[in-house]
Amino acid sequence: MIDAATAAAQWRVATVTAIRAETASVKTISFDVPGWPGHLGGQHVDLRLTAEDGYVAQRSYSIASGAGTSPQIELTIDAVPDGEVSGFLHEELRVGDQIEIRGPIGGYFAWSAEYDYGLLLIAGGSGIVPLMSMLRSRDAAGATQPARLLYSSRGIDQIIYRAELDRLAAQTTQFTLTHTLTRNAPSGWTGERGRIGRVMLTRRQFTPVGNPDVYVCGPTAFVETIAEHLVAMGHRASNVRTERFGPTGAIRT
Amino acid sequence: MLVTRGFKGRRREGDADRLRLPPGQFLTPEFPVLTTGPTQHTRLDRWSLALQHGGSLLGKWSWEQFEALPQTEITCDIHCVTKWSKFDTRWRGVTIDNLLRAAGLAVAPTGFLMAHCDGGYTTNLLVADLIEARAMIATHFEDLPLLPSHGGPARLLVPHLYFWKSAKWVRRLAFREENTPGFWESHGYHLRGDPWREQRYEGDR
């Protein structure tokens, strides 16, 4: 009997089964990972790439697919400028290639059906990925508590998972979706415009009423600013869970 | 070893740098911020640092008292479990040795310790990883007061372990009889976290 921690720490050989473009700079890669121990929404994996001369690079990426024990998992990866690993994954990786993966990692920035409380999700750019995993997990689990997502993108073409998010929002009144566009909004756009601030958070009911669980993921400055607003609005700091990635991509280069 | 087809690697550090990088790490000139929740803002007139063992207080310092303790500067490399490393970071603060001395302790009362922080974060440490100039309570980074986002006014600095052990906003060091897991150590991360042994996660040796 292998315990969960040992299973998660073990490197496994994953095979790429599909690659699809989400936006011009974002791709979702599907992997078959035999022996995958299963994960919660919001957890991540480590990838290990090895060059012929033995040079090794490792990076962490959030899991995009919903919770479960299926050996098929998906990662959604943003091509960061000059990214050594994300550049390789975008430009070189092909269906059928093999890559080493271990995980799942991180039990804190994660959603479990056992904790079906009101949920507030705030994403900036590719910070949507772990939150999408949570939303997919909620949907599959038939979660009953209300969830809201406020998702900030530069323009409409940079929105990741746009169609799927619309579908999730249309199928249940328990999930409320709001987009905000910070650079260019097309004419007729009915969503929010501009950066997320306290006024927008209040208008979209990201208030502490009912003590919801709050998850914020995005670039460092984005998360830093929003977390401060949330605390100032009365959210308990211990209810606000954050995941930040910096310009060097501490979490996903 | 599985060779990844087509992967050559671009971020090649020089040989000298490679030797300074623990396995699986890459070098960055930046200083990323990784925190589980909102940044804590603690006013200096409300700040104190306490040293405890069980129910008894071994020492407690206000900000002014703490700043009057012997100051040490160290330059070290730091390694985050999320894979980035940063070389030659320069810190100033009070070593744990000097803190014990200031509390009148010739030796630590136990072999283990839990660091408690504003915001509720905790991390467990071996006393052996903290003494003999291996760790400090840092208040300055590169000659400037430590920013709140980087753990100011004071954070632990234990540079030879993964950086989650260098707890931000530290307020209390509590000696323990046993090595019980702190926050990340309860969420799948390694109990000790030695980057040179690549002890990232609970299941790593």
- Please return the burial class of A65, using the count of CB atoms within 10 Å of its CB with bins 0-12, 13-18 and 19+: buried
% pLDDT > 90, chain B:
88
Per-residue pLDDT at A1 exceeds 70: no
The span from the CA of A215 to the CA of A185, in Å, is 25
Q: Could you tell me the pLDDT band of residue B12, with boundaries at 50, 70 and 90? A: low
Is residue B17 domain-resident? Answer: no
Contacts of B83 in chain A (CB under 8 A): 58-60, 250
Paired strand residues for A46: A60, A102
- Please return the burial class of B74, using the count of CB atoms within 10 Å of its CB with bins 0-12, 13-18 and 19+: middle
Kindly state whether residues A126 and A211 are assigned to the same domain: yes
CB contact under 8 A, B2 and A3: no
In which domain, by residue range, is B145 found? Answer: 23-28+45-197
Per-residue pLDDT at A141 exceeds 60: yes
Paired strand residues for B27: B85
Q: Which of B12-21, B108-117, B193-202 has the lowest mean pLDDT?
A: B12-21
Query: Which of the listed residues A62, A79, A105 is the one where a domain comes to its end?
Result: A105
DSSP secondary structure of A165-190: HHHHHHH-TTEEEEEEEEEE--TT--
CB contact under 8 A, A227 and B39: yes
Is residue B35 domain-resident? Answer: no
Looking at residue B128, the DSSP 8-state letter turns out to be G
The span from the CA of B155 to the CA of B134, in Å, is 14
> Which residues, 6+ apart, have CB-to-CB distance to A171 below 8 Å?
none
* Span B54-65, pLDDT tens digits: 889 999 999 999
To the nearest whole Å, the CA of A161 is away from the closest chain B CA by: 25
Q: What is the ipTM metric for this complex?
A: 0.89
* Span A112-129, pLDDT tens digits: 988 778 999 999 999 999
CATH code, domain with B157 = 3.90.420.10
Q: Are strands A192-193 and B56-62 parallel, antiparallel or unpaired?
A: unpaired
Tell me the three state secondary structure of residue A227. helix
**Chain pair A-B, CB pairs under 8 angstroms:** 138
| The total number of structural domains that make up chain B | 1
Contacts of A14 in chain B (CB under 8 A): none
Is residue B176 domain-resident? Answer: yes
Q: Mean pLDDT throughout A98-122?
A: 92
Q: Give the per-residue pLDDT at B11.
A: 64
Q: Which of B15, B33, B41, B150 to mutate: most A Cβ within 10 Å? A: B33
Is residue B182 domain-resident? Answer: yes
CB contact under 8 A, A51 and B149: no
CB B74 within 8 A of CB B136: yes
Query: Which of the listed residues A105, A129, A159 is the one where a domain comes to its end?
Result: A105
CATH code, domain with A234 = 3.40.50.80
Q: Give the per-residue pLDDT at B10.
A: 75
Percent helix, strand, coil in chain A, to 5, is 25, 35, 35
* Span B61-81, pLDDT tens digits: 999 999 999 999 999 999 999
Is residue B15 domain-resident? Answer: no
Q: Mean pLDDT throughout A172-192?
A: 95
Contacts of A98 in chain B (CB under 8 A): 2, 4-5
Q: Are strands A175-184 and A192-193 parallel, antiparallel or unpaired?
A: parallel
CB contact under 8 A, B203 and A49: no
In which domain, by residue range, is A17 found? Answer: 4-105
CB contact under 8 A, A51 and B32: no
CB contact under 8 A, A238 and B120: yes
